[in-house]
C-alpha cells in the first residue's frame, strides 16, 4: 500500500511506530499529485516547501522517545490539502477568481493556525468554484476539476478540488467550506466523508467570505474518524469571529451504538427529483441501520421545498455585500494597473476592475443580491426570505425533538457530466436541493459513502446525509461512524 492511501489514523500510527517517516509520507503524496493532478486538476497550487516541513517534523520525531511520540498531536506530520479560499500566510489565495490571481495572504486563518500548531503539513491549495459559488467546480476561473471515479464527470462543488484530492489519494485529508452543501455534495459525488459543522462551531476568520450567515469550514476525509479528528482540531471559540461561540466540546464519541437510535426519514427528501437508483442505495443503507437496532421513523420537514428559493435570495444578498470589498483599490486585480483597460475616474476603477475580475456566476449573484436588497424590493424578497428561513429552522427544531438524527440522500443524482448543467443556473442549483436547508437552519450534517450506482460502465458513489442537532457533532459523528462500519461490512 502506498502511504498516500492511508487514513489520518493509520498514518499517525505509522509515524509514531517509525514504520515510515513523514518525509516518505509526503513524498508518496507528491508522487501521486505529479502523476494525476494534470488530469484531475484537484490542486491549483502545490507548495514547494512541503518537503522541508516534513523534514522538520522528522527531526522532532527523531529526537523524541516513544512516550513523547505517542503524545504528539493527532495531526502531527499529516499532509493536507486546503481549499483555496482559506488563507495561509505567505501563500497565494485566489478563491478560484481572476480578481485574486496574485493575492498573497498576510495572515493565517484561525483553522490554519490551529492545524500548524498540531504540526500538520500543507501540500497545496485545492481548486473551487469562484468564491465558492457553484456545485461543480466548473466556475473556477482557472480550470475544471475532474471526478476521480469518472473523469468525464464533475467532482461536485464548490469544494471539488478538496474532494477529488482526498478521493484520489493526492493528500491524506482536506479542508473545505460549506455554504449550501459545498463540502457534503462533492464528498457524496467523490465517495468520501464530508462534515459541515454547526454554524458557530468553527471560526471563519481567514476564510474568504461568501454568505456570512451560512459559511462554515469543515473536513473532507477518507473516514468518519478522520473527519472527527480534523473537526476536533479546528473547532472552538475565536476572538476574531464572534459567531464562533462553542468551546466546551467533548472529544467525538468513538463508540456509539445504533441500537435504539431514533432515525428520522423526511418524506420530502424522497419525492420527485430523486433518482430511483440513488433512492434504492439510501433505503438499503437505512435498512442496515434498522437491522442494527435503529428505530426508523418517517418525519416531515414541511418547508423543504422552500429551502432552495430562500437560499437563492439570502445568499446573493450577502454575496453582494461581502464582495463589495473587491474594488480594485486595496488588493487584487485592478483596472488601475491594467494596460488593457482605460479609466478616467474612480467609478471606472470599481466598475472595470470588477467587470474584468469576476466570472459569470459571481456577477449573476452580485446583481441578484443588489436587486433583492435595493429600495422597493428589500421587503418583498430579502425580509420574506428571512421569515421563511425561520420556518425552515423551526422544521428542524420540531423534527429533532422526536428523533436523534435525520437521514436521507445528500444529492438527488450521482455526479453529472462536465458541461451538462453549465449553461443553466437553475438546473445547477438543484444539485444542492437536500443540502441548503441545513445551512439555513445552522445544524451540523455529514455525508458518508452509502454505495454506488452504475453509469456507462463506471461506478458512481452515492452519499448518505445525516443531520443532527445544533452543536451535537459528537452524536452525529458517533452515529455516522457506526453506520460507516455496517455499510462497509456488507
Cite the active site residues. Answer: 83, 158, 182
Residue number, 42 or 211, with CB nearest to other proteins: 211
Options 70, 254, 391, 402; binder of other proteins; rule CB under 8 A: 391
466 lies in the binding site for other proteins (CB under 8 A) = no
Alpha carbons 486 and 168: distance in angstroms, whole number = 24
339 lies in the binding site for other proteins (CB under 8 A) = no
254 lies in the binding site for other proteins (CB under 8 A) = no
388 lies in the binding site for other proteins (CB under 8 A) = yes
367 lies in the binding site for other proteins (CB under 8 A) = yes
Which of these segments, 5-13, 64-72, 253-261, 365-373, binds other proteins (CB under 8 A)? 365-373
Residue number, 268 or 482, with CB nearest to other proteins: 268
342 lies in the binding site for other proteins (CB under 8 A) = no
Tell me the closest approach of the beta carbon of residue 216 to other proteins, in angstroms.
8
Site pattern 425..444 for other proteins (x: CB under 8 A): xx------------x--x--
Tell me the closest approach of the beta carbon of residue 102 to other proteins, in angstroms.
9
Q: Which residues of 420-444 are buried (b: 16+ CB within 10 A; e: fewer)?
A: bbbeebeebbebbbbbbbbbbbbbb
Alpha carbons 140 and 31: distance in angstroms, whole number = 25
Q: Which of 11, 240, 237 is nearest to 121 (CA)?
A: 11
9 lies in the binding site for other proteins (CB under 8 A) = no
Binding residues among 282-321 for other proteins as defined by CB under 8 A: 303, 305-306, 308-310, 312-313, 320
Alpha carbons 134 and 179: distance in angstroms, whole number = 10
Give the three-class secondary structure for 367.
Answer: helix
Residue number, 70 or 360, with CB nearest to other proteins: 360
In this structure, are residues 132 and 367 in contact, taking their beta carbons and an 8 Å threshold? no
Beta-bridge partner residues of 194: 220, 447
384 lies in the binding site for other proteins (CB under 8 A) = yes
Residue number, 185 or 334, with CB nearest to other proteins: 334
Which of these segments, 98-106, 158-166, 456-464, 477-485, binds other proteins (CB under 8 A)? 98-106
Q: Please, what's the largest Cα pairwise distance for the chain?
A: 71
92 lies in the binding site for other proteins (CB under 8 A) = no
Give the three-class secondary structure for 463.
Answer: strand
271 lies in the binding site for other proteins (CB under 8 A) = no
Tell me the closest approach of the beta carbon of residue 346 to other proteins, in angstroms.
4
- Residue 343, C-alpha cell as written in the block: 479609466
- Residue 317, C-alpha cell as written in the block: 444578498
In this structure, are residues 335 and 352 in contact, taking their beta carbons and an 8 Å threshold? yes
Q: Which residues of 35-61 are buried (b: 16+ CB within 10 A; e: fewer)?
A: ebbeebbbbbbbbeebeebbebbbeeb
Q: In which residue are the cell numbers 458512481 written? A: 460
Alpha carbons 229 and 217: distance in angstroms, whole number = 14
Tell me the closest approach of the beta carbon of residue 461 to other proteins, in angstroms.
29
Binding residues among 32-91 for other proteins as defined by CB under 8 A: none
Options 45, 327, 453, 486; binder of other proteins; rule CB under 8 A: 327
Q: Please state, as a whole number, how many other Cβ atoms lie within 10 Å of the Cβ of residue 339.
A: 5
Which of these segments, 73-81, 139-147, 267-275, 364-372, binds other proteins (CB under 8 A)? 364-372
Helix (H) or strand (E) holding 448: strand 445-455
Cα-to-chain-centroid distance, residue 181: 7
Q: Please state, as a whole number, how many other Cβ atoms lie within 10 Å of the Cβ of residue 103.
A: 18
Tell me the closest approach of the beta carbon of residue 302 to other proteins, in angstroms.
10
- Residue 169, C-alpha cell as written in the block: 489519494
Residue number, 112 or 173, with CB nearest to other proteins: 112
Site pattern 202..231 for other proteins (x: CB under 8 A): ----------xxx-----------------
Cα-to-chain-centroid distance, residue 441: 17
Residue number, 393 or 458, with CB nearest to other proteins: 393
Residue number, 270 or 429, with CB nearest to other proteins: 429
Q: Which of 211, 156, 208, 207 is nearest to 183 (CA)?
A: 156
Alpha carbons 191 and 409: distance in angstroms, whole number = 13
Residue 375 phi, psi dihedral angles, 5° rounding:
-55, 135
Binding residues among 409-428 for other proteins as defined by CB under 8 A: 425-426
In this structure, are residues 97 and 131 in contact, taking their beta carbons and an 8 Å threshold? yes
Which of these segments, 235-243, 292-300, 404-412, 460-468, binds other proteins (CB under 8 A)? 235-243
Residue number, 14 or 359, with CB nearest to other proteins: 359
Alpha carbons 142 and 447: distance in angstroms, whole number = 27
Task: Please count the residues of this chain forming the interface with other proteins, following the rule CB under 8 A.
Answer: 70
Options 19, 106, 259, 291; binder of other proteins; rule CB under 8 A: 106
- Residue 401, C-alpha cell as written in the block: 425533538
- What is the binding site for other proteins (CB under 8 A)? 103-104, 106-108, 113, 199-200, 212-214, 239-240, 242-243, 245, 303, 305-306, 308-310, 312-313, 320, 324, 327-332, 334, 336-337, 343, 345-352, 354-355, 358, 363-364, 366-368, 370-371, 374, 381, 383-391, 393, 425-426, 439, 442
Amino acid at each position: 500500500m502506498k502511504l498516500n492511501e492511508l487514513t489520518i489514523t493509520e498514518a499517525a500510527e505509522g509515524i509514531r511506530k517509525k514504520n515510515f517517516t513523514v518525509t516518505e509520507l509526503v513524498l508518496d503524496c507528491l508522487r501521486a499529485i505529479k502523476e494525476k493532478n494534470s488530469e484531475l486538476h484537484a490542486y491549483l497550487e502545490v507548495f514547494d516547501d512541503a518537503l522541508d516541513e516534513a523534514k522538520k517534523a522528522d527531526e522532532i520525531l527523531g529526537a523524541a522517545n516513544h512516550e513523547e511520540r505517542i503524545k504528539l498531536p493527532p495531526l502531527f506530520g499529516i499532509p493536507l490539502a486546503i481549499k483555496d479560499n482559506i488563507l495561509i500566510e505567505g501563500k497565494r489565495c485566489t478563491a478560484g477568481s481572476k480578481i485574486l490571481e496574485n493575492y498573497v495572504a498576510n495572515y493565517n486563518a484561525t483553522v490554519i493556525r490551529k492545524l500548524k500548531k498540531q504540526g500538520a503539513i500543507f501540500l497545496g491549495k485545492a481548486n473551487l468554484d469562484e468564491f465558492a459559488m457553484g456545485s461543480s467546480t466548473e466556475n473556477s476561473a482557472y480550470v475544471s476539476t475532474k471526478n476521480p471515479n469518472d473523469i468525464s464527470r464533475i467532482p461536485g462543488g464548490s469544494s471539488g478540488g478538496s474532494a477529488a484530492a482526498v478521493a484520489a489519494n493526492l493528500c491524506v485529508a482536506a479542508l473545505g467550506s460549506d455554504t449550501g452543501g459545498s463540502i457534503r455534495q462533492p464528498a457524496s459525488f467523490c465517495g468520501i466523508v464530508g462534515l459541515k459543522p454547526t454554524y458557530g462551531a468553527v471560526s471563519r476568520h481567514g476564510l474568504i467570505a461568501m454568505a456570512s450567515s451560512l459559511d462554515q469550514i469543515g473536513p473532507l476525509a477518507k473516514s468518519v474518524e478522520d473527519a472527527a479528528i480534523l473537526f476536533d482540531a479546528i473547532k472552538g471559540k475565536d476572538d476574531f469571529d464572534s459567531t464562533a461561540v462553542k468551546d466546551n466540546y467533548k472529544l467525538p464519541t468513538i463508540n456509539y451504538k445504533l441500537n435504539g437510535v431514533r432515525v428520522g426519514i423526511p418524506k420530502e427528501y424522497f419525492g420527485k427529483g430523486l433518482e430511483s437508483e440513488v433512492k434504492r442505495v439510501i433505503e438499503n443503507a437505512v435498512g442496515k441501520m434498522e437491522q442494527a437496532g435503529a428505530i426508523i421513523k418517517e418525519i416531515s420537514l414541511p418547508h423543504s421545498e422552500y429551502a432552495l428559493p430562500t437560499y437563492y435570495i439570502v445568499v446573493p444578498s450577502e454575496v453582494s455585500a461581502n464582495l463589495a470589498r473587491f474594488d480594485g483599490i486595496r488588493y487584487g486585480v485592478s483596472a488601475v494597473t491594467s494596460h488593457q483597460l482605460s479609466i478616467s475616474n474612480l467609478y471606472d476603477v470599481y466598475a472595470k476592475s470588477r467587470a474584468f475580475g469576476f466570472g459569470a456566476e459571481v456577477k449573476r449573484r452580485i446583481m441578484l443580491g443588489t436587486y433583492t436588497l435595493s429600495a422597493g424590493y428589500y421587503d418583498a424578497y430579502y425580509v420574506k426570505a428571512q421569515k421563511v428561513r425561520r420556518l425552515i429552522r423551526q422544521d428542524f427544531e420540531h423534527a429533532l425533538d422526536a428523533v436523534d438524527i435525520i437521514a436521507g440522500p445528500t444529492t438527488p443524482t450521482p455526479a453529472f457530466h462536465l458541461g451538462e448543467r453549465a449553461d443553466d443556473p437553475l438546473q445547477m442549483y438543484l444539485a444542492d436541493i437536500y443540502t441548503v436547508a441545513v445551512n439555513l437552519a445552522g445544524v451540523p450534517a455529514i455525508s458518508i459513502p452509502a454505495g454506488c450506482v452504475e453509469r456507462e460502465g463506471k461506478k458512481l458513489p452515492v452519499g448518505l446525509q445525516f443531520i443532527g442537532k445544533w452543536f451535537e457533532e459528537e452524536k452525529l459523528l458517533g452515529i455516522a461512524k457506526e453506520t460507516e462500519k455496517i455499510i462497509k461490512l456488507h
